[in-house]
Amino acid sequence: MRGNKGFLLISPFPQKINRFFKPEQIVDLDEIITVKNLGDEDIDYDLIDSLLPDTIAIIGQFDLPKTRLEKAKQLKVIFNSEGNFAQNIDYEYCFQNNIYVLNCGEAFALPVAEMALGFALDLARGITKTDKEFRNNKENYLAEACKNSVLLSGSSVGLIGFGFLGKYLIDLLRPFNCNIQIFDPWVPDSVIRKYSAVPVSLDDVLSSSKFIFVLAGVTKENEYMLNREKLSKISRDAFFILMSRAAIVKFEDLVRCIREKRFAAAVDVFPTEPLKDNHEIRKLDNVLLSSHRAGAIPQAYEKIGNMIIEDLKLILKGLPPVIMQQARRETVGKLKNKPSA
Amino acid sequence: MRGNKGFLLISPFPQKINRFFKPEQIVDLDEIITVKNLGDEDIDYDLIDSLLPDTIAIIGQFDLPKTRLEKAKQLKVIFNSEGNFAQNIDYEYCFQNNIYVLNCGEAFALPVAEMALGFALDLARGITKTDKEFRNNKENYLAEACKNSVLLSGSSVGLIGFGFLGKYLIDLLRPFNCNIQIFDPWVPDSVIRKYSAVPVSLDDVLSSSKFIFVLAGVTKENEYMLNREKLSKISRDAFFILMSRAAIVKFEDLVRCIREKRFAAAVDVFPTEPLKDNHEIRKLDNVLLSSHRAGAIPQAYEKIGNMIIEDLKLILKGLPPVIMQQARRETVGKLKNKPSA
Amino acid sequence: MRGNKGFLLISPFPQKINRFFKPEQIVDLDEIITVKNLGDEDIDYDLIDSLLPDTIAIIGQFDLPKTRLEKAKQLKVIFNSEGNFAQNIDYEYCFQNNIYVLNCGEAFALPVAEMALGFALDLARGITKTDKEFRNNKENYLAEACKNSVLLSGSSVGLIGFGFLGKYLIDLLRPFNCNIQIFDPWVPDSVIRKYSAVPVSLDDVLSSSKFIFVLAGVTKENEYMLNREKLSKISRDAFFILMSRAAIVKFEDLVRCIREKRFAAAVDVFPTEPLKDNHEIRKLDNVLLSSHRAGAIPQAYEKIGNMIIEDLKLILKGLPPVIMQQARRETVGKLKNKPSA
Amino acid sequence: MRGNKGFLLISPFPQKINRFFKPEQIVDLDEIITVKNLGDEDIDYDLIDSLLPDTIAIIGQFDLPKTRLEKAKQLKVIFNSEGNFAQNIDYEYCFQNNIYVLNCGEAFALPVAEMALGFALDLARGITKTDKEFRNNKENYLAEACKNSVLLSGSSVGLIGFGFLGKYLIDLLRPFNCNIQIFDPWVPDSVIRKYSAVPVSLDDVLSSSKFIFVLAGVTKENEYMLNREKLSKISRDAFFILMSRAAIVKFEDLVRCIREKRFAAAVDVFPTEPLKDNHEIRKLDNVLLSSHRAGAIPQAYEKIGNMIIEDLKLILKGLPPVIMQQARRETVGKLKNKPSA
C-alpha cells in the first residue's frame, strides 16, 4: 500500500541529490513516504505535473506557480534546497493552503561563521600576506613583523544583518569578549540584547567598529545600501568583511575604498560570478579574496539532508516543522537574493 | 627620601622599554619605587653592579650569576620580560633567598591562541590558497570550490602541551564543541578534565586528531620528540599546526611530510630564524608559512607592562605576586627555549 | 487622524494591565495605534463587539469564536497575555485569515528555570530541612550534617519536556556540566543535541536521572502520563521536581511515592489550587512545597509588556513578529493547560 | 626495597582517612611510596617522631614545630587535609627547606558555590518561607504570592573576597548575566576584570549590590570588618549571604540588622558552633539558617583524596605540584581561620 502514503517528489536541480542524502537515507525515507526521485540533471515538468496529485512533499526549487500548485491538493511542504526564497513560487497560495515552504539556509550559517572568523583573524594578523612574503623571501620576524597586528579579543565588532549568520558568528565570538553592535531594522532590540550585543544605527556600526561583518540578505530595502557615502564612515584601520551578498554594497565604491587603502577588506561574494579575469580587485593588495566559498561545504549539504528528514518526519506525524526556516508572508516578497548553487 | 624606597632597575635589552610602558606609567611607578631606567640599547653591567645593593626589583633578562645576586641583598623580584626562563640566572640562589623570578609568558598566550585558530581555519577552508588562485585567475566558485573544506566545529582536536597557550586556545575553541584530547606529561589528568578535554598519549593525539596544535615549550625531555616515526602517525587529512617551538620537531622530518603531502601544516617557528632564503619549505604548497609572528604583537607587550606593575605593587605591599608565572625549582632547569625577542 | 490608525483593544481580565505596562508605555503605544483600554475588572463583550470592526490588535484572553472574529476584518494579531493557548479562540479562522495568535509564555521561562534550579539545590543540600531543624534546636554541623548532600555539578539530569522552560533551564545548568538527557516526542533529536543533551525515552529519563525536572505542558497525549508504574522507575535517591503542570502526573501516585519515601520531590503545581487544607502532602517531609510561584513574578509581567510592544511594532511596520510564540495549527488543538492567572 | 621509597605518613586527626581514600587507593599509593597509616583516632607524636627521618610526605594537620621538622630531612610535602593553614607549623622552616605545604581548600569551593547559589535563589524566591507557610495552611498562589520575588538574572551581585570560593561561584553565575562587583584587596584589578567583574571598594559592594556574598577567609586585617556601620550601607531589599567565616562580621551587629529587617540574610557560619540553643537568631524570620553545611560534603572529601594523590605523584616524579594551593610566605602568617572539621 505504498501509494497510499503519498509521494515525496525530489527534483533539486541545479542542486545535487547526493550532496544531501546518502543512498541509505533515501531508502529509509521510502519507508515512511513513497520517494519519487526525478534525478538532478534537469527539471521534467511533465513528469512533475503527473505526480503532483499524489505529492505530499517536494524537495527542490523548480517553478511552482498557482496553476501547478493547484494540482497538488495533498501538498503539505516544499523543501527549498537552495538556500534562498526565490520568486518562482506562489507563496500566497501556499500560505492560504497550509503548505509550508521551508528553507535550508541555516545549514550554511555555521560554515559561513567559521569562514568569517577566519577572514577576521587573517586580516588582523596578516596571515595570507605573510605567507606571500615568505614565498618571496621578504618576511620579517617577531615584533618587527607584528607592528600592525591586533587582537580580535576585546575589540569592537559590528554586524550588519542579524539573521542566522549573525547568530552563529556571535556564538563563535563569545570567548573573544568583543563589544558587539548590530544593525538590523527587522530585529527588535531585545533580541539583540539577549545576545549581549547593542542595537545601533548603520552609521554607528560603520564608524565605530574595528571589524565590520556584512551578513544581511538582499532585500528591496537594503540593495546597494553601502555606497560611497556610507563606506566613507568606516575608520581607516578597520576591517570590512563581506560575507552574505555583494548587492548590499555598491561594488565599485568598495573597490575604490580598497584601492585608496581606506580600510582593509575580505570579500567572498561578487556582483557577477565568476569575476571577470581583468577585474581590478584581483590586483589590489589590502584585500583578501575568496570565491563564494563560505557556505557551500560538504557538511552543510549533509546537514540540509538531515534537516529535511527531521522536519518531514514531524509533518508526517501531524506536528509542525521546527528545524527549517518558514517562508513568511511579510518578508518573502522582499527578498532579492540570487540563486547561488 | 626617594632612596629609602629602593630601586627598580630596568634594563630589558634586547627588549624595548617603550613596548612595555608608556612614559606616564614609568612616572607613576616612580611614586612607589625609585626607577633606575638604564635604557635598552645594551647592558651596562658595571652600572648594574653599582645599583644592585639598593635594588628591590629588576626588569630584564641580563646575566644574574650568584656573584652578582649576592650584591643584591634587598632584591625581592626579577621580572623576566622576554618570555622564557633562560639559563643565565642562578635560580637556586633565588629560591633560597626568597627572590621571585617571574615570567611574562602568559602575555603572549592570547595572541598565539588567536593566531593558532586563524591558522586552523585557514587550513580547513583554504583561505590563503584561494586568495593566491584569485590573483592568478584560477579560482573556482561555490560547492565545486569547497569540496575539501571542513568545519572546525565538532572536529577532533589534539593539543601537544597544555600550559598557558593550550588554556587560552581551549577557551577560544569552546563554542566549536570539538572533541579535545591533550598530551602533556607535566599536567595531571584532573586539570585536563576540568577543561572538558581528555588526557591521552602522544601517539593518540597524533593518530586521531584532525587538528593538531603543538603548544609545548622545549625541555630536555621533549626536544626533537616529533620525529619521522611520530609524524607518520598523523592521518593524511589532518592539519598540523606548529606554534610554540621548532625544536619540538625534527624539522627535516616535518618538511619531508609536507613535501610528500602526508598532511597539511602551518608553521610559525623555525629551527633558525630568519630561515635561509633557499630553504625548501618556501616552495612547498600544502603549508602555510608564518615568520614567528604569533605572539609578539604590541598588545602583548602592553600587557606585560601591566602585569609587571600589578605584581610589583603586590610585592611592595608585602603580598605574593599572583599575575605572572613563577620559576619553579623542579622545572626551571629543564627548559630549553631559546630567546626570541 | 488617530482613528485611521485602527485600535489596539486591551481587555486582559483576569490579568491586570498594570502588571504589563507602565502608564507611559500606554501613552507611547497610543502614538502608533489608538489604544482602547477596556480595563481589567471584567470583560465587556458588547463594548468589544462594537470596537472590533476597527481593531487591529487585541491584548487579552477573552472568547473569540468565529462569529466574533468575523466582525474584526482588520484584525492582525491577538496577544494572549495569560501564557496558555486556551480553547476559547477559533484558531482555524485565525490561521486562514492571517491573524497571528501570539503567546507570552516565554516570559515565564526564566523565572521558572531559576526556581527549578533553586528547588534542585534545596533538595540536594537540605536547605529548607536544615532551616527547620535550626528552629527546633536540632541541627547538626559540618561533615556529620552533610552525609546525604550531593553536588548538582556533574550529576545526571533528566528533562521531561523541552520547550521554553527546558531551554532556559539548560542555559542555567551549563556551568554545572551535568549529563543531560531529554524526553520530548515533539522535538527532533538534532535540536536536543544542539543543546549538548541526549534524546532518550521517558523510561530512560526516569530510571537514570538523579535530578528529574517535569517541564512539559499538558496535552491530550501526556495527561496523567506519570502514573504509578512510570514513577516506580525513578531511583530511590533521585529528586523529582514538578514545575510545569500537575496534570502530567497522577497526583495521588506521586503522593504515595513521597509518603513511601521512594524519592524526594519538589512540587510547585497541584491538581486543584488552592490545595485543600487537609491534603496529606502538607504533612509529608521529603517534599518541598511551593504554591505555583515559579513563573508569575513581577519581572515576568514586565517582560510580557515589552514583548507585546516589540511584536506589535513589527506587525505595524509590515514585518512578521519574532518575539512571541505563534499558535500553530498542528498543536494548538492538543493543548490542555488550564488558565493560571 | 619498599623502605628505599621513603614514607607517606598519614595521621589526619581530627579528619577521617576513609573520607579521603577508598582502601584500594591506599593500596595503589603503597606501590609508589611506603604508606604509614597511623589511623585517625588521635595523634601519636612518639610514633610520628620515630618515622619522620624516612618520611617524604605527610597527610595531616598535627603540630610541626621546627624541632619536629628538623627530624624530617627527606620531607618534601605536607598535605593539610583540613582546609586552613593553621598556625601550628613552622612555615618559615618549610619555605627555607623546600618543603611544600599544600592546602586542600579548593575542594570545598564547588560545594560552597552551589550552596551559596541555592541560598540566593531561596532568598530571592521565598522557597523555605513558602514551604513553611504550606505546612501551616497559609500559602498564597500565583502572582499574589510572588509580589516580592525577584530574578537573580540581570541583578547586581557583590562578592567580598575573591579566592577559590568567588571563582567557583562566578562560574555558576555566568548564565545569569549579573553585574558583578568584587572587593578583595589582595587581588589585582586585572584578575577581577578577567572574570568580567568590576573591582570596587567594600562600601560600593555593600551599598549597590542586591545579592552580597561574603566569601573571604579571616585575616588579621578583615576580622570583624563588617560591623554595624558597614552593614548599615546595605540596601533594604538586599540579600546578605554569609558563606565563608563568621569572624568577618560582628555577629551581634548582623543579628540586629536581621531583627530590624534591614535586609534578609542567609547564614552558614556562626561565631561558636554549635550555636547555643537560646540564640536569638533561631527565632528571627527573615534569615535562612544553615549549620556550616556548605563545604563538607562527601564529594569534597573524595576530591581532596584525588588532589593529594595527583600532587604527590608529581612531586615523586620531580615535578612541582599544580593542584593544591601552596602556603605562601607573605600571607600564611596573616590567616586566622579556625579549624572546622
In this complex, do D151 and C118 lie within 8 Å of one another by their Cβ atoms?
Answer: no
Of A306, A320, A331, nearest to C328 by CB-CB distance is A320
Is the Cβ of C57 closer than 8 Å to some Cβ of chain D?
no
What's the gap between Cα B35 and its chain centre? 28
In this complex, do A319 and C331 lie within 8 Å of one another by their Cβ atoms?
Answer: yes
Is the Cβ of A290 closer than 8 Å to some Cβ of chain B?
yes
Q: Give the minimum alpha-carbon distance from A19 to chain B in angstroms, rounded to a whole number.
A: 10
Give partners of D (≥3 CB pairs < 8 A): B, C
User: Within chain B, which residue ranges are assigned CATH 3.40.50.720?
Assistant: 2-104+298-332, 108-289
Give partners of A (≥3 CB pairs < 8 A): B, C
* Class of domain A2-104+298-332 (CATH, top level): alpha beta
Of D188, D313, D323, nearest to B310 by CB-CB distance is D188
Of C131, C139, C176, nearest to D128 by CB-CB distance is C131
Residues in chain D within 8 Å Cβ distance of C176 = 172
ipTM of the complex: 0.96
User: What digits encode the pLDDT tens for the residues A63-120?
Assistant: 999 999 999 999 999 999 888 888 999 999 999 999 999 999 999 999 999 999 999 9
Taking one residue from C and the other from D, the number of pairs with CB-CB distance under 8 angstroms is 188
Which residues 164-223 of chain A have a CB within 8 Å of chain C?
A: 186-191
* Residue D339 reports pLDDT greater than 70: no
Helices and strands, counts by H and E, chain C: 15, 13
pLDDT of residue D3: 43
Mutation to test the C interface, candidates A316, A322, A325, most C Cβ within 10 Å: A322
Band of pLDDT at residue D84, cut at 50, 70 and 90: confident
pLDDT of residue D53: 97
Q: Give the minimum alpha-carbon distance from B32 to chain D in angstroms, rounded to a whole number.
A: 16
Chain mean pLDDT for chain C: 95
Query: What number is the average pLDDT over the span D219-247?
Result: 96
pLDDT of residue A1: 38
> What CA–CA distances, in Å, run from B194 to B191, C117, C301, D311?
5, 22, 39, 16
Mutation to test the A interface, candidates B133, B139, B148, most A Cβ within 10 Å: B139
Distance CA B306, CA B300 (A): 10
The CATH fold assigned to D108-289 is Rossmann fold (3.40.50)
pLDDT of residue D335: 76
Q: Do the bridges between strand C325-326 and strand C100-103 make them parallel or antiparallel, or are there none, so unpaired?
A: antiparallel
Identify the bridge partners of residue D60 per DSSP, sorted by sequence position: D11
In this complex, do D330 and B319 lie within 8 Å of one another by their Cβ atoms?
Answer: yes
Band of pLDDT at residue C82, cut at 50, 70 and 90: confident
In this complex, do C288 and D127 lie within 8 Å of one another by their Cβ atoms?
Answer: yes
Query: What number is the average pLDDT over the span D208-222?
Result: 96
* Residue D29 reports pLDDT greater than 80: yes
Give partners of B (≥3 CB pairs < 8 A): A, D
Query: What number is the average pLDDT over the span A32-48?
Result: 96
In this complex, do C329 and A319 lie within 8 Å of one another by their Cβ atoms?
Answer: no
User: What digits encode the pLDDT tens for the residues C230-273?
Assistant: 999 999 999 999 999 999 999 999 999 999 999 999 999 999 99
3-state SS assignment for residue A47: helix
Of D338, D304, D340, nearest in space to D324 by CA: D304
* Residue A2 reports pLDDT greater than 50: no
In this complex, do B146 and A340 lie within 8 Å of one another by their Cβ atoms?
Answer: no
* Residue C1 reports pLDDT greater than 50: no
pLDDT of residue C5: 81
What's the gap between Cα D236 and its chain centre? 28
Closest-CA residue of chain B to A123? B118
User: What digits encode the pLDDT tens for the residues D158-168?
Assistant: 999 999 999 99
User: Hey, what amino acid is at A133?
Assistant: E
3-state SS assignment for residue C17: helix
Is the Cβ of B313 closer than 8 Å to some Cβ of chain D?
yes
Q: Which helix (H) or strand (E) holds C166?
A: helix C164-173
Is the Cβ of B93 closer than 8 Å to some Cβ of chain D?
no
Of A121, A133, A176, nearest to B121 by CB-CB distance is A121
Residues in chain B, pLDDT under 70: 1-4, 337-341
User: What digits encode the pLDDT tens for the residues C107-138?
Assistant: 999 999 999 999 999 999 999 999 999 999 99
* Residue C3 reports pLDDT greater than 70: no
User: What digits encode the pLDDT tens for the residues A226-276?
Assistant: 999 999 999 999 999 999 999 999 999 999 999 999 999 999 999 999 999
Band of pLDDT at residue D5, cut at 50, 70 and 90: confident
Q: Is A237 exposed, middle or buried (0-12, 13-18, 19+ CB in 10 A)?
A: exposed
In this complex, do C289 and D145 lie within 8 Å of one another by their Cβ atoms?
Answer: no
Q: Give the minimum alpha-carbon distance from A288 to chain C in angstroms, rounded to a whole number.
A: 32
Band of pLDDT at residue A166, cut at 50, 70 and 90: very high
In this complex, do B190 and D306 lie within 8 Å of one another by their Cβ atoms?
Answer: yes
Q: What is the DSSP string of D196-223?
A: T-EE--HHHHHHH-SEEEE-PPPBTTTT
Q: Give the minimum alpha-carbon distance from C311 to chain A in angstroms, rounded to a whole number.
A: 8
User: What digits encode the pLDDT tens for the residues B110-138?
Assistant: 999 999 999 999 999 999 999 999 999 99
pLDDT of residue A82: 86
Q: Give the minimum alpha-carbon distance from C167 to chain D in angstroms, rounded to a whole number.
A: 12
pLDDT of residue B335: 76
Query: What number is the average pLDDT over the span D203-222?
Result: 96
Band of pLDDT at residue C168, cut at 50, 70 and 90: very high
* Residue A137 reports pLDDT greater than 60: yes
Angle between helices A109-125 and A164-173 (to 10 degrees): 50
Q: Give the minimum alpha-carbon distance from B332 to chain A in angstroms, rounded to a whole number.
A: 24
Q: Which helix (H) or strand (E) holds A15?
A: none
